[in-house]
Structure 1
Amino acid sequence: MGLPGVLLVDSDDRLHRMCATAARIHGFDADVVTTAAAGFERMAHGSYSVVVADLEQPGVAGRSFLEELCDRYPGITIVALVRGSAIDVPRSHELDTAIATVVGTPVESEIFGAALHDALDHHHRRVRRKLDAVDHSTILLVEDSDGDALLVVEYLSEICGARVTRATRVEDAAQILRGVSYDFVITDLTLPDACGLDAVRRLQPLAPNAPFIVLTGIDDEDIAIRAMQQGAQDYLVKGQLDAPTLRRTLRHAAERKRVYNRLVHLSRHDPLTGVGNRAALRDRIETTLARARRRELGFAVLFIDLDRFKAINDDLGHDAGDAVLIEISARICACVRTSDMVARLGGDEFAVLLDELQPTDHPLDVGRRILRSIERPIMLQGGEVVVTASIGVARYPDAAGSVDDILKAADTAMYAAKRSGRNNIQIVGEVAAEDRDRVSLTHGLQHALERGELSLHFQPQLTLDRHRVVGYEALLRWYRPGGVMVPPAEFIPLLEDSGRIVAVGEWVLARACEQLAIWRASGYRDIRVAVNVSARQFEGTGLIDTVGDCLRRYDLPPPCLELELTETVLMGDTSHVKGILDVLRRLGVRIAIDDFGTGYSSLAYLSRFAVDCLKIDRSFIDQVHVDRERALITSAIITLGHHLGLEVVAEGVELAEQLAFVTSARCDLAQGYLLGRPARAEHVTAALCS
């Protein structure tokens, strides 16, 4: 057996030479790297029980590196180095279980050696706890073969004391899962009432928190991949199974499921305060709006913006600002019912959804209670801070329409509160001025395509290793008479509401393919073009024919065309979505998931459908260089995409710091204003020729 592996990450030459020597003296095999990126590279290809890194050193290792290390490798054990005393070093929740000991610098050889041995003991105890968790677990085994079932039970009795319940049919297993929770589900694929991946598809939603393991006699790599995409954590072949393999599989499946569930949670919650995020709020309002229309119920949305919060960050620092946001979030939650929802929209903006309001309930009462709670002094280490807020209220059905209409109404009311002197509440019904603008834009859109007011701009997508342009995203623009550009966020929802999005979408697809054919004829044959496909266009009957016609008419290789679908599209009828995606894949075009991470379906649907690429939403990229949690989520998404064999694109890269981050995180492509603004085709052609 080899020596225990230790990885030292530090840029201080004297320190890592001394630590490496001390590690080897005390019986450890030590490797040394000087950057965080090199550390992750070694972790990916080496076997290390302990990582040694400076807890306080920014840019090389530091807390953010260790946090991400724990996220990528949940079983790792850490020896943290600190300057000076090792007493009273603050630990985050993520690091608490991973850090075995803290050592002050300069490091003494004997102390460092003892710390490594303590860390190795700590590592072994953590592994033992994970094994114990398997030993005392409950397992649902779905297997109709008595011989195979007996073999699995014998293996389990040999390796652990797990309690096993057996079902011979999927329907029997489903009935069991509706009443009892299990730690693991092990299922065959060929059962009396299921074949193929039916068992996984039918049972996984009934046990969303249990790791799924497929145990089958079918040794087929393609089926194994599809099983993992459907939500299974592992795929075992019966003839290749033994007791140690089964035990290792259970342990690894539990770890994968834990990481998966954490990613799901992070995609739906604000990492700082723990309340919901913008995507979760939109989904909840969508559900509440549909229910309110059916049952004639009322609800209200409150937009809360802290007054002059920037001064707190500027004067007291971002740590103090974060502490204030956490306290404000807790106070808002204490002012509402458990059936209501609190969300942080970003920065110093919060929102509250007051659900199922009776005619006698008034959201202004809740708003005033929130204002009084917020303005109570907040005690910080540096003294006392007083914060006020401006609140805008939109109540349904007074403020009606779509989710966006209601959110806009609440936002407008909040700005009215700020204009009225701050620290107050304003409530609006339907916003008359916005309604008039909406009618004007809708009328103008009816003939915009025929009048030639719509055009395409193209934004480049570049590789991050060589900064080479590999493609362009086609973006729709509307210039009204007089040359006034209407923002896409204003007119595209109107196209969708009116149904015109289908005709316009077909026009966009044809013009983008035509332009790509022109570039290819000019010698630029290695680029591709990406086109957004709306939910209505995808749900219609003509998309496949339109794509096929465009490929034939312009003589394009199918992989040169990429169709970008939002998560909203994937949330439709699963069989319908899968059918269309399968046909498109047979045509050979690429499929990308746009704005990845903004919807609750992100991970579930990504694993269910075969796609080529995912584009990380700009809301994540916007903060990666200043927000550690955003950086962790973004790195996790990139890692997840690569594990699934997908190309990953970072959207909205506007700063050099953001570009540096996504490059170090091994993202494949990026697009954004820093790399190239959307431009007309003739300007892109000129750039290609230059």
Structure 2
Amino acid sequence: MQESLLDILIVGLLVLVFAVIQRRRSMPRIRYWTLGWIFVLLHFTAQIAVQDVAWQSVLGVSALLLAGCSFLIASSDAIHDPGEAMIAASLLGVPPIAYLCLTVYGVSTVPVLVAVALVGQLCMIYVSLRYWGADRGIVRGNMVIALLIMLWIVYEIRAGQAILGVYGTLTEIFAINAWFYWRDFRRASAGVLTAVLGLLAWALVFPAALVVAAWWPHLHVSSELWNIPKYFVEFGMILTLLEEEIQAANRTSEDYRVLFENNPSPMWIYDLETLRFLRVNDAAQHVYGYSEEEFRQMTLMDIRPQEEVPRMLEDVGLEREEMVFSGPWTHVYKDGRQSKVEVAAHTIHFNGRMARFCLVVNVTEREELHQQLLYQAHHDLLTGLPNRLLLKDRMQQTLTRASRQDRRVAFVCIDLDRFKQINDNYGHLVGDQCLKLVAERLRRRLRGEDTIARSGGEEFVAVLGELKSRQDAYRVAEDLLYVFHEPFLVEGYRLELPASIGVALYPDDGTDASDLWRNADIAMYRSKKSGGNRFTFVSDEISSAAAEANDLELMMRTALKEGGFEVYYQPQYLEDGTLCGMEALLRLHHPRSGMILPDRFIPVAEDSGLIMPIGNWVLEEVARQFMAWSQAGLPQVRIAVNVSPLQFMHSDFLGHVQRVLARSGMPAELLELEVTETTVMRNIEEIARQMRELAALGVHFSVDDFGTGYSSLRHLHQLPIKTLKVDRSFVERITETNGTYSIVQAILSLAHSLGMQVVAEGVERKDQFEVLKALQCDVFQGYLFSYPLEAGAIPPLLETQTAGIR
């Protein structure tokens, strides 16, 4: 009894050890080993807990059989599939347990017992084929063992001791386990040899017990002696697992050593407390020029420039549980050279102390490329001056300093007056050289704390900080203008290149960088309009104009969001008074001034970039309103929409018009796009391409304010233009002596000869109408016929289709 309790205690503790190992490593082999030892524990428990001898035999021996089956499954392919493991356990365990039950409960019929035993051995052979079929040696060996065990069982049955045949099955299972255990590990280690010898001894216990009982019947052998092989097996398995852990650790350690020593990148380990190098690899020694002994006498600060030490100490204090890149850092080599590096580091325990493992990656070339790209992104490639992006940053910094120090700042816009003629006459190479010389002269003229930038084309901007008074700004402006008095010598040419300069002062002319820049730009254009080669300071008038432009820009942005724009329509009539078309005219509602006309807000929209969304909205609104009138059953007439040059030059203008027509359903032939002569001539090839593609859809084109620009009739003839609109300035003086009669007559004659229709704008008096009618003008538009009307006033006109002349 006490011996069984001791066995239960020992096996129970060892099962607990296996369970802990299984939880830590979670391997299928350990799982089935643990299950096997649980069955061994049940074997010992049955000897104490079950009093009935028959039941005790059935439960105890069955537990041993299942323990052996679990060990076998741990060495089979069924280990990874619970379903296959259950099949294997059933095939190996059910027949011998059935045989055991028959013999324990007195069944002695020889054919029955032999049949059950034979089924058990056939199942053993089938399991060998199913799970070890690829290894012919195992299959043949198991067949031989099965044959021998079958002979043993038959012998015991014929001898009237059928129950002893169960010993044969136990011997078979544990002998095969010993064979498989060696096959799985194949090393003569203490753990493997202990487990293999223990399994062999366990297999031999059963025939040995029969021999002792037969030859020395009066000899009493303690059950503890028979249980010794079990403990050998259990301790051998635990030792095997420990050996596996040690081998894995050694392999990992060797892998790390090889990786550390042979890595082409510098690697080291340093003490977190002293920052002293504890270990370095060959690459670190080669790259940095120090030997391993020299490294061990150094700290991390010895390879860093002094200015980086505070940041380095801050970085060292950070926890690094995982490998994290930091940097870029500057490292100093033994020969004094420096390089930019990034360091991947994490905290480890090394020789009993807290240390940091580091991998160093040289990023010098990448950083140089980054700096180069950064320079190119912030500087003009031709002159090397700051570009607009860097200029804005410098402007903001200068304003911030001036605000703190109560100083003035001058924003100076410089535009070269006759640069286009130099490009046209001498070529772009000479022009580029001129820009380089201008940049150099300006750079030399200014102080180190000032900024001179090229803002685009032939325009430069200077930011002059720490000025004490307005007089300082005057003197600087004079100096800058003097830069251009001396001719520029380029490629043997002596070139005069005057400039127009505009100056805005902080805080007098504005406190915001964008406002100051805009005011200086306005002042510069005042210089240019005054003949150039001079400088102009921002006046109250200019500041007022800039403020009004800012108000208008803000108002237009709000109007786009909240519906502050409205489209009016001015009818167009034939000679007999028939309504034949309309022109869409945009209006802006001002909260104080009321309705604002386009001539005030369109220039601001073009300068601010709002012209694109505003133009798109007008086109969409006209198409929507047209379809609303059409769906109401009203007659359809062509509607003309003014298109800004910037709008027409946009790459997506063609696509936008197509999308608007497609979404609204408005017929393309009833949409007329009005362009100015300037628009047509700005980029004739691109304009012609877009116009032809839209004309192919049916869109009509007209040239607005004809006669005020510089268009060529030859070019107009090449474009799909259907209508010319005579500017109101010509119509206004058509009846005057020495007026514009002959000009209008020439326009009408030329237009009709080119097959174009003519619309007279600004017809306000009946005598003008009569003269135009006599000249065979086609269409008339003006206050004489109708003022521009709200959309709601148009349906009555469309219903009547005619209007009298007032």
Same fold (TM over 0.5): no
Question: By percentage of residues, which structure has more helix?
Answer: 2
Q: Tell me the TM-score normalised to structure 1 length.
A: 0.40
In our comparison, the structure showing a higher alpha carbon Rg is 2
